[in-house]
Amino acid sequence: MLHNLKPFFVLKPLVAVAAVLMAACGNDNSTQQSSTIGDQAVDVDQIINFKAMFGEEPYICGQTYSDVGAQSSDYTAKDFRLFASNIIAMLDDGTSQALNVAEDGVWQHDGVALLDFGHGCDAASDNPVNSKIEGSLKLTASQVVSQICFDIGVPFELNHEDNTLQASPLNVSGMYWAWQSGHKFFRLDGVTSAGGFNVHLGSTGCDSGGKTEAPTTCANPNRPRICLALDPSTQTIIVDAKALLADSDVEQNTPNTAPGCMSGNNDPECPAVIPKFGLDFMYIPSSDDQTLIEADTQSVFYVE
Amino acid sequence: MGQIASATLALVTSTFLLAITVTLSACGSGSGGTGIVGQSDSVSSTSSSEVSSVTSSSVNSVSYFDEVPEGYPQLPAHFPDPKVPESNPLTVAKIELGRFLFFDRNLSINKTRSCGDCHQPAKAFTEDKALAVGITPDQIHARNSMSLTNVAYNAGFNWANPNLPDLERQVHGVLFNEAPIELGWSDVESQILDRLKEDTTYVKLFNDAFFDASDPFTVANVERALASFERALISGNSAFDLFEAGDKTALSQSAQKGKELFFSEQLECFHCHGGFNFSQAVDHEGIVLNQLDFHNNGLYNIAGNGDYPANNTGLWEFNSTPSNMGKFRAPTLRNIALTAPYMHDGSIASLDEVIDHYARGGRLIAEGEYSGDGNLSPYKSELLAGFILSEQDKAHLKSFLESLTDWVFICAANLQDPYGNHPMHNRCAELNF
């Protein structure tokens, strides 16, 4: 495939590069001719780069960051991963197309990519990390990517399969969402002197029609859609954990609830977290009480 | 289908069990057993390779339940056939592998806990703690360890999860759950599989169980084997069953009176705890329409809102329709006398108190953060109307519940802990099947 040409890939596709790529595909040489002529669309490799940050500082698994959250706490980060899917490129001519996500056998499968900025640093481990999505678009010489949209999460139809039997990265067990059957879509784990404060985003309120069926609906899909103006050839998508935790007291956890916010609708730590993804959050502290916390303008993902 | 109950009584004496003499000696002595490889608390324990296992060389051309080998509980004649997923046919080899895995503390990442630590044979595969503890002592599970009696017939799994289609997926949760951590497999499953691969006992057991796999050491196969062991946990040989089969001496007069009370419209017990498994929420080969249902039995009514503690909201955790608050699946009552403490959170210590709870029609918590009268909960099952029983009738009812204990099941040789951490129930020696 085209992966071995990564160093050459360019986002504003030079015709010559496109021609090389075509040749690499093993296509007939005559296509070189036609692609150089002008507006015939050809497969062009794309890499969308991500970088995890805590404010101005890069995320490093195990590092302690100061001034985190509403109480300016010290917070030691231990895990930072997310799934991206349903990835669409908006082009400068007003058209859009789905990114053809490469099958790499590890990080990407069935249009879903796992970004792993580092986890498991408690033990001396050399866990591999991944901070990019690789794929291709069919572009003419004049078309340029202007915006990228993606969901944080695993699509519903893949999310509730038996994840033991799914292919990588859907079988990365740290992203299993065992209590609701499915996957964690976003995972940020960390501790303060007061204990753990984790953010696990995933679908909740999932219910199946019958025991032999996977869930048919989830009341709260919790798949944020992120759209960013982006030139992938020169720019990087920043994922800012500090922005996510900005309104949370990360040293506080309500007893009998998950440490931090694991998307539970009755978890008092979630109203300050979930809206940061640009999601509405229905806070239901009791069977007879619910409050809609409206989505913030998401500030966790931005382009640099 | 199953064989008649009396046939199972001879199970332990069979020569089929020659390979598990170690376990038998544990049974005979009623103590921790002799010669068993010590694995009890030691992280640096030796491998389990010295533990002998049931040999299972016979080819399984018939389904397991059609011809249950001795040492395992037979499928009673009055029980329907359990559903077994096509993707995981039930074989003796898988059950035996599952037994070793089930009781093996090496199956937890820090080698401290096994499935069997919370699900002990002598307690009908429960434990006496109110709340379960996994490998992290500081993370107490919100719920009580469920009985695995007849778990093959469950219409659903866990106390209130509507989304688990089979035991394989239920096991998956125990391995990979993180809040709380149970066995701690998340992100480290390859370490645990490598541990098993290095153990010659497991090399044989995995190859016997998954003989057509090029690499049998997979997460999926661990889940299949554990689910297979659990499907063998069949219990239908209690005094009550013998009585129903025609042995009128099997139940005491008191238990017979208790039986009438249990099945009366006055007490209404059988609405949720009815049928062959004393739980209406069953599944088996004959079931077409889903029988999974959930009930609120009036344990909590926090602040009069009907609320339950935030970490134990039952079905509401999955579907926040108000009426789902505090709804849990009715577990089987078979072997219930061995499974104290009771309820989803282990908050009732004894059968006497359970009867008092239902007699009152809900629990009154007078003070504290959970105060409220469960009897007045807006979400309580309408069947929980309360009743008045004399002390004598209460004793009868309790006698009946005690008659649901199945010693053939509890003492079944091939369901015991091969590592000796959890000895067979001490009554098994005196019963001497």
Indicate if the pLDDT at residue A12 is higher than 80.
no
User: Is A100 a member of any domain?
Assistant: yes
Cα separation, A160 vs A176, whole angstroms: 10
Q: Are B79 and B14 in contact (CB under 8 A)?
A: no
Calculate what percentage of chain B has a pLDDT beyond 70. Answer: 85
By C-alpha distance, the chain B residue nearest A211 is: B165
| Mean pLDDT of the B216-229 span | 98
Instruction: Give the right CATH number for B5-236+407-431 from 3.40.50.300, 3.40.640.10, 1.10.760.10, 3.40.1550.10.
Output: 1.10.760.10
Indicate if the pLDDT at residue A111 is higher than 60.
yes
CB contact under 8 A, B310 and A215: no
Q: Which among A303, A131, A116 has a CA at the least distance from the CA of A226?
A: A303
pLDDT in tens, B149-202: 999 999 999 999 998 989 999 999 999 999 899 999 999 999 999 999 999 999
Mean pLDDT of chain B: 88
pLDDT in the model for residue A21: 39
| Mean pLDDT of the A33-62 span | 86
| Mean pLDDT of the A19-42 span | 49
- φ/ψ (deg, to 5) at B146: -75, 150
Set of chain B residues whose Cβ sits within 8 Å of the Cβ of A254:
310
The four Cα atoms A167, A170, A173, A177 give a dihedral, to 10 degrees, of -140
User: Is A28 a member of any domain?
Assistant: no
Indicate if the pLDDT at residue B19 is higher than 60.
no
Q: How many helices (H) and strands (E) does chain A have?
A: 4, 21
User: Is A62 a member of any domain?
Assistant: yes
Indicate if the pLDDT at residue A8 is higher than 90.
no
pLDDT in the model for residue B62: 66
pLDDT in the model for residue B57: 42
CB contact under 8 A, B189 and A179: no
pLDDT in the model for residue A20: 40
CB contact under 8 A, A207 and B319: yes
Question: Domain B268-386 class?
Answer: mainly alpha
Cα separation, B130 vs B141, whole angstroms: 10
Domain spans of chain B, in order of start: 5-236+407-431, 268-386
Distance to chain B for A288, nearest Cα, Å: 7
Reading the block at residue B81, the tokens are 């056939």
Q: Which among A161, A153, A156, A162 has a CA at the least distance from the CA of B218?
A: A162
Q: Are B358 and B264 in contact (CB under 8 A)?
A: no
pLDDT in the model for residue B432: 72
Indicate if the pLDDT at residue B269 is higher than 90.
yes
Range of the domain at A82: 45-257
User: Is A20 a member of any domain?
Assistant: no
pLDDT in tens, B327-367: 999 999 999 999 999 999 999 999 999 999 999 999 999 99
pLDDT in tens, A184-196: 999 999 999 999 9
Q: Which among B237, B283, B214, B250 has a CA at the least distance from the CA of B405?
A: B237
pLDDT in the model for residue A125: 63
Give the count of domains, chain A.
1
pLDDT in the model for residue B355: 98
Distance to chain B for A204, nearest Cα, Å: 7
User: Is A277 a member of any domain?
Assistant: no
Calculate what percentage of chain B has a pLDDT beyond 90. Answer: 82
Question: Is A180 in the B-facing interface, judged by CB distances under 8 Å?
Answer: yes
The four Cα atoms B97, B98, B103, B104 give a dihedral, to 10 degrees, of 60
Indicate if the pLDDT at residue B85 is higher than 90.
yes
pLDDT in the model for residue A207: 76
Question: Is A56 in the B-facing interface, judged by CB distances under 8 Å?
Answer: no
Distance to chain A for B57, nearest Cα, Å: 29
Cβ partners under 8 Å of residue A151, min gap 6 = A84, A85, A86, A223, A224, A225, A226
Question: Is A220 in the B-facing interface, judged by CB distances under 8 Å?
Answer: no
Tokens 């544990």 belong to B26
Cα separation, A219 vs B312, whole angstroms: 20
Cβ partners under 8 Å of residue B190, min gap 6 = none
Q: Which of B162, B176, B320 is nearest residue A265 as measured by Cβ atoms? A: B320
pLDDT in the model for residue B77: 95
pLDDT in the model for residue A76: 97
Q: Which among B158, B308, B312, B290 has a CA at the least distance from the CA of A181?
A: B158
- DSSP-assigned states of every residue in A68-134: ETTTTEEEEEEEEEEEEEEEEEEETTS-EEE-EE---SSSEETTEEEEEEEE--SSS-----B-EEE
Q: Output the pTM of the full model.
A: 0.85
Q: Which range is least confidently modeled, A292-296, B20-24, B238-242, B416-420?
A: B20-24
Distance to chain A for B192, nearest Cα, Å: 13
| Omega prior to B121 cis, within 30 of 0 | no
